[in-house]
Amino acid sequence: MSTTVTAKGQVTIPKAVRDLLGLKPGSQVSFRQTADGRIELLLASKTRKTRRFQKLRGHAGQGLSTDAIMALTRGEK
Are 25 and 47 in contact, with CB atoms under 8 Å apart?
A: no
**Per-residue b or e along 47-70, where b marks 16 or more CB atoms closer than 10 Å to that residue's CB:** eeeeeeeeeeeeeeeeeeeeeeee
Task: Identify the architecture of domain 1-45 in CATH.
Answer: Ribbon (2.10)
Model pTM score: 0.49
**What would you measure as the largest C-alpha separation in the chain, in angstroms?**
70
Secondary structure class of 18 (helix, strand, coil): helix
pLDDT digits (tens, 9 = 90+) for 14-63: 999 889 888 889 888 888 899 999 998 888 865 556 667 766 777 666 77
